[in-house]
Amino acid sequence: MNPIFPRLVVASLLVFALAPAVAARKGQTKPPHDVGVPFTLDAGRILLDVEFRKPDGGARRALAWFNMGMTALVLAKPLFRELQIDRGEPLRLQIAGAALEAAADEVTDGDGGFAAPSFAHLFAPRPVEAMLPASLLRDYRVGIDYRRRIFELTRGGEGAPEGVAAPFALNEKTGFATVSVSIAGQSFPFVIDAGSGYSWMRGAVLKQWLVAHPDWRRAEGAVGLANNNMLDYAFEKEGIVARLPEIAVGPVIVKDVGVLGTAPVLGALDGLVGDIFWDNWQKSATSAVVGWLGGNVLGHFKLTLDYPNRISYWRAESAPDPHDLDQIGVTLVRRDARYFIGGLVRPAGNGTTPGPAVEGVAPGDELVGVGSFDARGAGKAALLAALAGKPGEMRLLRLERNGLPFEASAPVLDLR
What is the mean pLDDT of the segment spanning 35-47?
Answer: 94
Is a pLDDT exceeding 60 seen at residue 5? no
The confidence score (pLDDT) of residue 14 equals 43
Neighbours of 362 (CB within 10 A): 12
Instruction: Please report, rounded to a whole number, the percentage of residues in the chain having pLDDT higher than 70.
Output: 86
- Residues found in the chain: 416
Higher per-residue confidence, 68 vs 18: 68
Letter for the amino acid at 255? K
The confidence score (pLDDT) of residue 272 equals 61
Is a pLDDT exceeding 60 seen at residue 6? no
Half-sphere exposure of 208 (CA within 13 A, CB side): 8
The confidence score (pLDDT) of residue 356 equals 74
Higher per-residue confidence, 360 vs 4: 360
Is a pLDDT exceeding 70 seen at residue 189? yes
How confident is residue 261, by pLDDT bands cut at 50, 70 and 90?
A: very high
Higher per-residue confidence, 298 vs 25: 298
What is the mean pLDDT of the segment spanning 114-127?
Answer: 84
What is the mean pLDDT of the segment spanning 158-174?
Answer: 93
Helical ranges in 160-283 per DSSP H: 203-212, 234-237, 270-273, 276-281
Of 94-108, 261-275, 307-321, 338-352, which range is least confident? 261-275
Is a pLDDT exceeding 60 seen at residue 20? no
Is a pLDDT exceeding 70 seen at residue 314? yes
Instruction: Please report, rounded to a whole number, the percentage of residues in the chain having pLDDT higher than 90.
Output: 80
- The string over 81-107, giving b where at least 16 C-beta atoms fall within 10 Å of a residue's C-beta and e elsewhere, is ebbebeeeebbbbbbbbbbbbbbbebb
- Decide the pairing of beta strands 311-316 and 301-306: antiparallel
CA distances to 59, 130, 275, 306 from 102, in Å = 16, 14, 33, 21
Is a pLDDT exceeding 80 seen at residue 112? no
Q: What are phi and psi of 268, to 5 degrees?
A: -60, -25
Of 2-6, 254-258, 355-359, 397-401, which range is least confident? 2-6
Q: What are phi and psi of 387, to 5 degrees?
A: -85, -15
| Beta-carbon contacts of residue 329 (< 8 Å; ≥ 6 apart) | 219, 221, 223, 344, 345, 346, 347, 356, 357, 358, 410, 413
Q: Residue 324 forms beta bridges with which residues?
A: none
The confidence score (pLDDT) of residue 1 equals 41
Is a pLDDT exceeding 60 seen at residue 7? no
| N-to-C CA span, the chain | 40
What is the mean pLDDT of the segment spanning 289-312?
Answer: 98
**What is the value of pTM for the model shown?**
0.90
Neighbours of 271 (CB within 10 A): 11
Domains along the chain? 4-145 (2.40.70), 159-316 (2.40.70.10), 330-411 (2.30.42)
SS3 (DSSP) at 43: coil
Q: Residue 183 forms beta bridges with which residues?
A: 186
| Beta-carbon contacts of residue 117 (< 8 Å; ≥ 6 apart) | 14, 65, 70, 74, 111, 131
Is a pLDDT exceeding 60 seen at residue 80? yes
What is the mean pLDDT of the segment spanning 369-392?
Answer: 98
List the helix and strand counts (H, then E) for the chain. 9, 28
Mean pLDDT of the chain: 89
In angstroms, the CA 254 to CA 298 distance is 10
How confident is residue 2, by pLDDT bands cut at 50, 70 and 90?
A: very low
Of 233-237, 245-249, 305-309, which range is least confident? 233-237
Among 325, 319, 332, 327, residue whose Cα is nearest residue 361: 332
| Beta-carbon contacts of residue 403 (< 8 Å; ≥ 6 apart) | none
CB contact at 8 A, 256 and 355: no
The confidence score (pLDDT) of residue 25 equals 45
Letter for the amino acid at 235? F
Is a pLDDT exceeding 80 seen at residue 55? yes
CB contact at 8 A, 355 and 346: yes
How confident is residue 34, by pLDDT bands cut at 50, 70 and 90?
A: low
The confidence score (pLDDT) of residue 276 equals 86
What is the mean pLDDT of the segment spanning 308-330?
Answer: 96
What's the burial of 284, exposed, middle or buried (CB within 10 Å: 0-12/13-18/19+)? buried
In angstroms, the CA 312 to CA 167 distance is 6
- Decide the pairing of beta strands 107-109 and 73-75: parallel
The confidence score (pLDDT) of residue 275 equals 83
The confidence score (pLDDT) of residue 110 equals 80
Is a pLDDT exceeding 50 seen at residue 302? yes
Largest CA distance in the chain: 64
CA distances to 228, 231, 380, 390, 408 from 370, in Å = 19, 21, 13, 15, 10
Is a pLDDT exceeding 90 seen at residue 158? no
The confidence score (pLDDT) of residue 77 equals 94
